[in-house]
Amino acid sequence: MSASKSRTILVAVAIALSASACSGTGGAGAAGGSKDGKVTLRWSTWGSAEDMQVFKAFTDDFNKKYPNITLKLEPVASYEDYHPKLLTQLTSKTAPDVFYVGDDYIGKLVADGVLAPLDEQLAGPLSRSRPADFFEGIYGGAKKGGVTFGVPNDTNPEVLWFDRKALAAAGIAEDPAALNASGQWTMAKYLEMNAKLKAADKYGSIFWNWYGANYSLVNGFGGKVWDGGRFVAPSDPKARQALKTLSDGYRDKTFASADLLPEGNSAATQFIKHKAGFYAGGRWVIESIDKGGDRENYDIVPFPSESGQPIQGAVAASYLTINKDTKHMKEAFTFLSEFVSKEGQQLRLKGGSAVPSIKGAENLVTDGNYPAHARTFLDVRDKGFANYPDEVAVPGLTKAINDQLMKIWEGKTGFDEGMTQLQGLVDGMKGQKG
């Protein structure tokens, strides 16, 4: 999925409601403490008014527990507008006390030194969410030099949804989830299925053009994207093979790019009309399936590997962080710790389409027994990775990589030339960092 679109769809926007949910002015904690000892805590994230309604239960619970803290939400409707506004606020010292950061911006804010380190407080007596409660791989760029500057608030692991009806129409009798359970879910088997689907006049797979799908496929081929701080995807033989497979698949219509499908015939529409065998996405795909009915036809499987053994898959994530300049550090941490705690995530994510980032809240995914192999979301999360720290440390690099790859997928640039350009682009942007 595209970097901007993925945040509004792949990662469930966790927004607490507040009666004073309106834009504020002044520096961090400018509303400050009052004469009666109450503290107004400003915090910010992105999302629609509909998103906000889902999280009322968390705010009501927080207000009962901490009557001395008034939460003042300062939402931004779109992901595209959110970070530019936040960066301006940080520069002018008017940023909120606590705020969300997307996984493609977290590296920049860590490098800029504007986020408060959290390790001591997370391990302290007042913490409701300890470091050991989270999965190391999903921190991504939120950690630097062993120091934690943001906590993943929730996740969406990238998996392959598959449509049994489409597979059967292509003469495919094998069940991908059963193959995975028996250690036979190989890249060769997956590509064979895609070829059969194409021969049956269907798309084999639909992918969004983002690191989650692209890098999961690279891992499935046994390739490397980054190695020792250097971007090696264009030169690593197996990574290059994976990207060439994607390029060839887009050009001969074995694969479809969800980014390029028309709105009236979107990726979700194609999938629920049984015109594609596989659709790469997160738990949010359930919402699309429910709109089209026919739930029993769909299940999930992780990205395949060369050997059939599990690979490290991509996990979309965003992070809750604290402004280093907040005047209310204790209250800010109280909010952060409650927000990402097991109880906080159970309140915020119940009935939603995200996967909790913390241990102990697995029932949010497994209750309801849908899809049949819902546990796969947790398996990918537990061993997965958020976008590489080396990549997210360079502002705009992920988007630039995606844009360059899209030129290759569309056939605007030849594969070999495109790979050379991609390496030069990344090397140039890393050289310009700072």
Delimit the domains of the chain by residue range.
3-157+317-383, 159-313+394-432
Residue identified by tokens 């391990």 is 123
Fold of 3-157+317-383: D-Maltodextrin-Binding Protein; domain 2 (3.40.190)
Across 3-30, average pLDDT: 39
- Reading across the β-sheet that carries 276-281, which strands appear in turn? 255-257, 203-207, 276-281, 159-163, 298-301
Structure tokens at 327: 């005047």
pLDDT value at residue 156: 96
Closest to 339 measured CA to CA, from 317, 356, 314: 356
Q: Is 107 helix (H, G, I), strand (E, B) or coil?
A: helix
Which tokens hold the place of 168?
């059967």
- Give 372-377 contacts, CB < 8 A, sequence gap 24+: 372/177, 372/299, 373/177, 373/180, 373/299, 373/300, 373/301, 374/300, 376/159, 376/177, 376/180, 376/300, 376/301, 376/302, 377/157, 377/159, 377/282, 377/283, 377/300
217: phi then psi, degrees, rounded to nearest 5: -65, -40
pTM over cut 0.85? yes
Backbone conformation region of residue 83, classed left if phi is above 0, alpha if psi is from -120 to 50, else beta: alpha
Cβ atoms within 10 Å of 347's Cβ, excluding its own: 20
Q: Which pLDDT band holds residue 263 (cuts at 50, 70, 90)?
A: confident
* Residue 28 pLDDT class (50, 70, 90 cuts): low
Q: Tell me how far apart the alpha carbons of residues 242 and 214 are, in angstroms, rounded to a whole number.
A: 9
Cβ proximity of 159 and 313 under 8 Å: yes
pLDDT at 293 (0 to 100): 67
Q: Name 186's bridge partners.
A: 305
pLDDT at 21: 36
Q: How many CA atoms lie within 13 Å of 39's alpha carbon, on the beta-carbon side?
A: 18
Domains 3-157+317-383 and 159-313+394-432 share a fold: yes
Cα 361 to Cα 388: distance, rounded to the nearest angstrom: 26
Structure confidence by residue, pLDDT tens digits, 214-250: 999 999 999 999 999 999 999 999 999 999 999 999 9
Whole-angstrom distance, CA of residue 395 vs CA of residue 397: 6
> Is the backbone of residue 430 left (phi > 0), alpha (psi -120 to 50) or beta?
alpha
Q: What is the rounded distance in angstroms from the CA atom of residue 204 to the CA atom of residue 167?
A: 9
pLDDT score, position 48: 82
The answer to whether the bond into 67 is cis (omega within 30° of 0) is no
Residues contacting residue 98 through CB under 8 Å, at least 6 positions apart: 41, 42, 43, 44, 320, 321, 322, 323, 326, 332, 335, 336
Nearest-5° Cα angle at 97, 154 to 64: 70
The model's pLDDT over 35-90, given as tens digits with 9 standing for 90+, comes to: 567 999 999 999 887 777 777 888 899 999 999 999 998 989 999 999 999 999 99
Average pLDDT of the residues in 352-368: 94
| CATH class, 159-313+394-432 region | alpha beta
275 within 8 A of 152, measured Cβ to Cβ: no
Q: Encoding tokens for residue 114? A: 């504007």
Q: Which residue has the higher pLDDT, 59 or 187?
A: 187
Percent of residues, the chain, with pLDDT higher than 90:
82
Q: How far apart are CA 65 and CA 363, in angstroms?
A: 24
At 197, list the tokens: 């689907």
